[in-house]
Amino acid sequence: MNEELASVLDTCTALPASAADAREQVEVLLGEQCVPGDGRRDGVVWADALLVTSELVTNAYLHGGGLTAFSAWIAGDELFLSVSDGSTALPVTRSRTPGRYTVGGYGWPMVARLSKSLSVTPTATGKSIEAVLPLS
Does an H or E element contain 136, and which? none
Domain regions of the chain by residue span: 3-134
pLDDT at residue 6, rounded to an integer? 34
- CATH architecture of the region 3-134: 2-Layer Sandwich (3.30)
- State the DSSP code for 11: -
118-135 residue pLDDT tens = 999 999 999 999 999 998
Is the pLDDT at 11 greater than 50? The verdict is no
78-108 residue pLDDT tens = 999 999 999 999 998 777 777 877 777 789 9
Contact 81, 133 (CB under 8 A): yes
Contact 55, 111 (CB under 8 A): yes
CA distances from 115 to 1, 17, 31 (A): 24, 24, 20
Query: Which one-letter amino acid corresponds to residue 127?
Result: K
The model carries a pTM of 0.83
48-75 residue pLDDT tens = 999 999 999 999 999 999 999 999 999 9
